[in-house]
Chain A
């Protein structure tokens, strides 16, 4: 038909479409900010929720990387009759003989309490347990001494004690060389340990050498926990043979666990509760979209004359529709970008306050952009159709 009449409407370039769409927004800045705010809040919530949980997961994974996942612990379980089982005194030596095992160490609970002096009643233990520790414990747990020294073959037979970080804090000790009252005699504090995320029980312990514990504190020499590290690939095979190696007579009385599993579970859980918050963000986004649609409908009503003028200047229905669709898209894109920036900033602020690495996954940003465009289109379709359907005469005659 156009070929016959030679009448084809001029095309609007993409730049022109954007400019026309933006012109409508520029005329009403306050309304633009208010209606973009709804979208911004929705997007910011979603980005922040995803960002914070990603940052938390990243932190846990980094921690795992640092600590290693190749540490296994062996503890006594229950006997067939429900009593507490014991590990044989030979258990440590047996574990050390498993070929892939690189290092192993043992601790044994000692029936004693540690106090600053003998005037404090024995019942006040402060939650600190006294344990015998083999000299390989520090290497196996890859821990560090923050003050003084770790037990060696010599000090292990002496009344010398190394305190875990938490134990030292509870006793109010920050330096070595002081004496503490343990099992009816004085022990000298020779070292204080740093934090041990994979073995928090060590943090709350006062550690003495096996010989000293047996000689001075009446320890029976049977370990209560064996720590073991092997190569990463061998962890599962070592785990399989550990019970029989430790206690060949009653392998079922032995419990083997992997402390890093707890951290991994935590990392997995970090993503779980975000779904609810994400849903909340989605609702905010939806409400924001309704706000944009509302604004656009009002805008079309108010601008009937402008629409009439544009039609008289030669705008086709499609071009009017495009103009309002572009305006709606720009409006929600504005909100989306502001929301993404806000969400990223919130993530960064929260992560830095927790000493986490701030992580905002690119897919979340991409998803935010896609969501905004979708919302913008959905919110704009109806008002744009209304604007396009408006007859030029009606539009011009409204006063």
Chain B
């Protein structure tokens, strides 16, 4: 089987003539730990939207878990997201006043499982990110790093094969950021494909493979050669 995500000649143009992506080819293999790096305005977010099936390309093909996104209805895309994708955002997007457990359980709301099963799986997911002792805490009672780990738990509670993290450490200090990255590494080890979108070269170098974006084009990392050469990375640094 080919990669979990395949982008072929993908372009995206926003109203007003902004060419966010100008013909991108990318294959993410199962089991990858990959960084999509680039300065702001390089098309990183649009890449996230394409891979995450949150938006459709103007031209080209996006295939996620073997499904051609262009051929799917909105309902089918929603089902695809609920089963195959987990999202972590820079802002944690946790519901205030709701316990960590229920915040995570809410992540499974659209998978069609019943409430008890959702809460059981949520507890297991919180255990996985090292917050087994914080189930009943509200977001306001948790540190930033802990909140982001709750968000990670929410994203992976349903065991999606692909986890997309958009600047997951952008709002955190370095030690909290390291904790979150450690959690992502753990998930990767247990078999989840992890794609991190970031502008931070340090985080990018921490990943096994880097895809470098500039002005809507991949400037480096087309090929699926795991362990991208660090030297190359440094050469293209900002």
User: What string of 1s and 0s marks CB contacts (under 8 Å) between B74-92 and chain A?
Assistant: 1110111111010101010
Shortest beta-carbon distance from B105 to chain A in Å = 10
Chain A residues near B45 (CB-CB < 8 A): 397
A315 at interface by CB-CB < 8 Å: yes
Interface of A, helix, strand, loop or mixed by DSSP: helix
Cβ–Cβ contact B54 & A312, under 8 A: yes
B76 near A314: Cβ-Cβ < 8 Å: no
Q: What is the bound-complex CA distance between A15 and B109, given in angstroms?
A: 11
How far does the Cβ of B79 sit from chain A's closest Cβ, in whole Å?
Answer: 4
0/1 string, A296-331, CB within 8 A of B gives 1: 000000000110011111111111000000000000
Q: Is A117 close to B, CB under 8 A?
A: no
- Other-chain contact of A10, B54, B73, B93, B110 (Cβ < 8 Å): B110
User: A396 is contacted by which of B54, B76, B96 (Cβ under 8 Å)?
Assistant: B54
Inside 8 A of A391's CB, which chain B residues have their CB? 54-55
Which residue in chain B gives the minimum CB-CB distance to A397?
B45
A114 CB to closest chain B CB (Å) equals 79
Q: How far is the CA of A310 from the CA of B106 in the complex (A)?
A: 9
Q: How many A-B residue pairs have CB under 8 A?
A: 106
Would A316 and B93 count as touching, CB distance under 8 A? no
Please indicate the chain A residues that have their CB under 8 angstroms from the CB of B49 in the complex: 393
B89 to chain A, nearest CB (A): 7
Q: Indicate the member of B110, B111, B112 with the most A CB atoms within 10 Å.
A: B110
With beta carbons under 8 angstroms apart, the residue of A23, A305, A317, A318 that contacts B91 is: A305
CB <8 Å contact, B98 and A2: no
Q: Which of A15, A306, A314 contacts B111 (CB 8 A)?
A: A314
Complex formed: what's the CA distance from A26 to B102 in Å?
Answer: 14
Contact B93 A305 (CB under 8 A): yes
- A2 to B79: give the CA distance in the assembly, Å: 10
B72 interface residue (CB < 8 Å to A): yes
In the complex with contacts A12-B110, A311-B54, A397-B45, A316-B96 CB distance below 8 A? no
B232 within 8 Å of A (CB atoms): no
Query: Which residues of chain A have C-beta atoms less than 8 A from B143's C-beta?
Result: none
Which residue of the partner chain, among A306, A312, A317, contacts B95 with CB atoms under 8 Å? Answer: A306
The answer to whether B96 touches A27, judged by C-beta atoms less than 8 angstroms apart, is: yes
Contact of A314 among B55, B67, B82, B96 (CB under 8 A): B82
Chain A residues near B186: list those with CB within 8 A. Answer: none
Flag if A316 contacts B67 (CB, 8 Å): no
CB-nearest residue of chain B to A8: B79
Q: Tell me whether A1 and B55 are in contact (CB under 8 A).
A: no
A9 touches B55 (CB 8 A): no
A77: which B residues are within 8 A, CB to CB?
Answer: none
A381 interface residue, CB < 8 Å from B?
no
Interchain CB contact under 8 A, A23 and B81: no
Residues of A within 8 A of B13 (CB): none
Which chain A residues border B175 with CB–CB below 8 Å? Answer: none
Q: How far is the CB of A385 from chain B (nearest CB, A)?
A: 14
A30: min CB distance to chain B, Å: 14
Give the number of residues in B that approach A within 8 Å (Cβ atoms): 37
Residues in B37-65 with C-beta less than 8 Å from chain A: 45, 49, 52, 54-55
A20 CB → nearest B CB, Å: 7
Interface flag for B97 (CB, 8 Å): yes
How far does the alpha carbon of A7 sit from the alpha carbon of B109 in the complex, in Å? 16
Asked if A316 and B78 make an inter-chain contact with CB atoms under 8 angstroms apart, the answer reads yes
Residues on B with C-beta less than 8 A from A251 are none
A7–B72 contact, CB under 8 A?
yes
Q: What residues of A have a CB within 8 angstroms of the CB of B76 in the complex?
A: 1-2, 5, 7-9
* Contacting pair A316 B74 (CB below 8 A): yes
B146 to chain A, nearest CB (A): 18
In the complex, whether B140 has a CB less than 8 A from a CB of chain A is: no
Q: Which residue of A lies closest to B87 (CB)?
A: A312
Residues of B within 8 A of A11 (CB): 112
A residues less than 8 Å from B168 (CB atoms): none
Instruction: Check A5 against B72 for contact (C-beta < 8 Å).
Output: yes
Chain B neighbourhood of A355, CB < 8 A: none
Distance A266 CA – B193 CA, assembled complex (angstroms): 81
Q: Does A392 contact B (CB under 8 A)?
A: yes
> Which residues of the other chain, A, contact B98 by a CB distance below 8 angstroms?
23
A121 on interface, CB distance cutoff 8 Å: no
Q: State the CA gap A231–B109 with chains docked (Å).
A: 72
Nearest Cβ on chain B to A396's Cβ, whole angstroms? 7
Contact A16 B115 (CB under 8 A): yes
Q: Which residues of the partner chain B approach A1 to less than 8 Å between Cβ atoms?
A: 73, 76
9 nearest interchain CB pairs?
Answer: A314-B82, A10-B112, A314-B110, A7-B79, A316-B78, A7-B76, A9-B79, A392-B54, A314-B81
Footprint of B on A, CB under 8 Å? 1-2, 5, 7-13, 15-16, 20, 23, 26-27, 305-306, 309-319, 391-393, 396-397, 399
Q: Which residues of B contact A (CB under 8 A)?
A: 45, 49, 52, 54-55, 67, 71-76, 78-83, 85, 87, 89, 91, 93, 95-98, 106-107, 109-115, 154
17 CB contacts below 8 A, A to B, read A1-B73, A5-B76, A7-B67, A7-B72, A7-B83, A11-B112, A305-B91, A309-B93, A310-B110, A313-B87, A313-B110, A314-B79, A316-B78, A317-B78, A318-B75, A319-B110, A392-B54
